Structure formats: structure tokens, C-alpha cells
Amino acid sequence: MQFVILIILFGGMMWFMQRNQKKAAAQRQEQLDNMQPGSEIVTIGGLHGILASVDKTKGTIELDAEGVILTLDRAAVKTVKPVVATEATDETETIDSVIADAKTEAIASSETADKQDSPFE
């Protein structure tokens, strides 16, 4: 009787472990299927980069790691940070205008500094 209970417990434990593995495999496959160019990728080797393109027929991806394009197998992907859609707002225009104003002020101040008499001349 104890042997039967032990077998049932062992069988239940194996069933739950297999179920968790299937869920994890399905989640990983969904993550790999939903990769889009522009996503931030980390490979199993620890390489960080931006996904340049996905070739589903060959099962490869092209990863842009600071200007270096690498072709990797899709299985080499450890994590995927999805693309966050950013909307162009007035903040971008504001920042650009602030940068342009700062540049013109820097040029103007350097010209006035050149015109002043230096005590070391």
C-alpha cells in the first residue's frame, strides 16, 4: 500500500514538473516569435544590442551591437525587451530649440571673449 502511494506521489510530481516546463517553453517561444527590429536583445553569451532584422525562414537574427552587425541563431537570445513606441511630442522640439539657443550663446560668448583685451598679451 505504501509503495502505491509513493508511486502516485512520484507520478504527480513528474506531471507538475512537466507542466511547468511546457509553460516555460511556450513562453520562450512566444517571446522569440514576437521579436521585432528595434527590440533590445541580450544573448546567452551576455552580448547586448539592438535587433536589426529577423529571418524566420533561416531562424537567424541580425544584432546591432554599437555599429557591429552580428548574425546569430534565434536560440542564442536570452531576453528580449520589446520596442516601446514613442510618440513625437513638443518636448523634442523644445529640447532642439534649447540646444540651438545654447550653441548660439556659446558662439556669441566666445566671440566677445576673443575681442576683450587679455592681461597676458
- Please report, as a single letter, which amino acid is at residue 67: G
Q: Is there a contact between 63 and 51 (Cβ–Cβ < 8 Å)?
A: yes
Strand partners, 110: none
The amino acid at residue 87 is E
For each of the domains in the chain, give its residue range(s) and CATH number, in order of start.
Answer: 1-81 (2.30.30.30)
109 pLDDT tier (thresholds 50, 70, 90):
low
Mean residue pLDDT across the chain: 80
pLDDT at residue 21, rounded to an integer: 93
pLDDT in tens, 40-76: 889 999 889 888 888 888 888 998 888 888 899 988 8
